[in-house]
Amino acid sequence: MRTTAKHKITNTEEFKQNLLSWAQQFDDVVWLDSNSKAFQDNQKYSSYDAILAVDAFTAIQTDYLNAFDKLKEYYTTTKDWIFGYLTYDLKNDTETLKSNNDDGLAFADLYFFQPKKIFLIKGDVLEIRYLKAVDDEFEADLKAICYCEDERRDNLLNETDNPVKIKLKIHKDEYFDKVTKVLSHIHRGDIYEANFCQEFYAENTTIDPLETYNKLNTISNAPFATFLKVRNNYLLSASPERYIKKEGTKVISQPIKGTAKRDPDYIMDSILKNDLVSDEKERSENIMIVDLVRNDLSQTATKGSVKVEELCEIYSFDQVHQMISTVVSEVKETTNPIDIIKTTFPMGSMTGAPKISAMKIIEDLEETKRGLYSGSVGYISPTGDFDFNVVIRSILYNEVKQYVSFSVGGAITAKSDPIKEYEECLVKAKAMRTVLEN
C-alpha cells in the first residue's frame, strides 16, 4: 500500500531540476520527462509531464532466458508500480536468436524495481506516492529537494573541461560494405527492410552522468527523455520515440521512420521538412513498419480494433524533423500487460521486416551487442497501464568499466543510398557527440 500526497509547485522547471539532483543519492533511479513545454503538440497520449521513481524496495534482474515469464511473475507478486528497462537482446527469449557481438557496457538483459518513492508531475501539481514503510520521510524529502538548488549551483561552478575522445566501431568504408550486404539480402527477397546500427564509444573515460544528461536534454528537448541509474550503470536519453503505451484497454504504438535535419534558416528548414513529407523512400520505410506494428498488436487485440490513427505525420524536434505514425488497438480488460509487451518486442522500428529475418541479418552484420540501445525504459502501474520509450539518441555509461557508448542506425530499404544512410547516422549522432566532445 502507498500513502499519497499532493502539492502545488510554483516553478515546475526549477523543481524538476532539483528533484533529479536530489535523486542522485539512490542506486535505483528512473526519471521520465516529456519536456511538455517544448512539445505541446506531442502530448496527446501523455499521462504525466514527468515521473521520478527512486530507491528499490524489491527488484528483478535477469538475463534473457524466460525473462518475460519472470517479469510477469514479479509484477503479479508485487501488485504495485514497477519501473525499469528491457534490452534489445530479450529477442532471444521470444525467438530462437542469439546476441554474441562485443559488449563493452555489460548491462543486465532486464531490470525492474518496485520503488519506495514515486513523484508524478502534471502541470503545477506534484503527486507523491510513498510505500507505507517510508511515508514518514515526506516532509524531510521535500525540504531536501528544495535545498538541491544550492547544490546544483555549486556543481555548475565546479565543472571542468573533460573532452571525450570518440571512436567508431565501424568505419566509413566498412559501413558502406555492410549496407551493401543488407541491400543484397533485400534484392534476394530475404527481407524488405532492416535497421542497421553502429556504435560510437570511448574507453577509459569518466563523465558526470547528471551533467551530461542535462546538457543532452537542453540540446534535444525530447518528449521521451530518460535518466536511468542502476547502481553504476547509466542511461542518458533524449529519445523522441514512444514504443508502446497502454491506457485502460487502449494500446498505442508510435513508430518513427524518416528523418531530416533541421536548419536555423526558417525557409531552408521548411524546405527540408517538405522534402521529408514527399520523400518516397522515407514514406515506404514508415509504412512497412506500420504494417509490422499492426501485425504485432493484432496478437493481443480484440477483433477488428487495430487502426492507424496517423500515417507518416511530421513532427519537428530541436535537432531533426521526424516522420511518425500512430497505431492503436483495443485489448480485453483481462489481458496481462506483459503479454502485450512480449508480443510486440523488440519494436519494429528498430528491427525491420520481416522481423525475425531482419534480426538475424542485423546480428551477423553489426559489430556490437545492442543491449539497452534500441531497448526500452518505462513503467507498469498497479492497474496494468504502462508507457515505454524507444532507447535511441542516448548515451550509455558503465561507471566501473569507464566505458561510454552511443549508437545510431537507419532503416535500409531497396531504395537506400549508402552515402545518404551514413549522413543520416551522423545527423542522429550529432547531439550525443556534441555533448560528449564539448
Active site residues: 241, 257
Distance (Å) of CA 318 to CA 106, 157, 315: 31, 27, 10
Nine-digit cell string for 432:
550525443
* Segment holding 359, helix H or strand E: helix 355-365
Cβ 286 vs Cβ 313: under 8 Å: no
Nine-digit cell string for 97:
536468436
CA-based nearest residue to 349, from 148, 53, 88, 121:
88
- Looking at the DSSP assignment, which residues form a beta bridge with residue 330? 250
DSSP 181-211: HHHHHHHHTS-SEEEEEEEEEESS----HHH
Nine-digit cell string for 172:
566509413
How many other CB atoms sit within 10 Å of the CB of residue 173?
8
Distance (Å) of CA 56 to CA 86, 103, 118, 136, 232: 17, 26, 11, 17, 15
Residue with cell 551493401: 180
How many other CB atoms sit within 10 Å of the CB of residue 373?
27
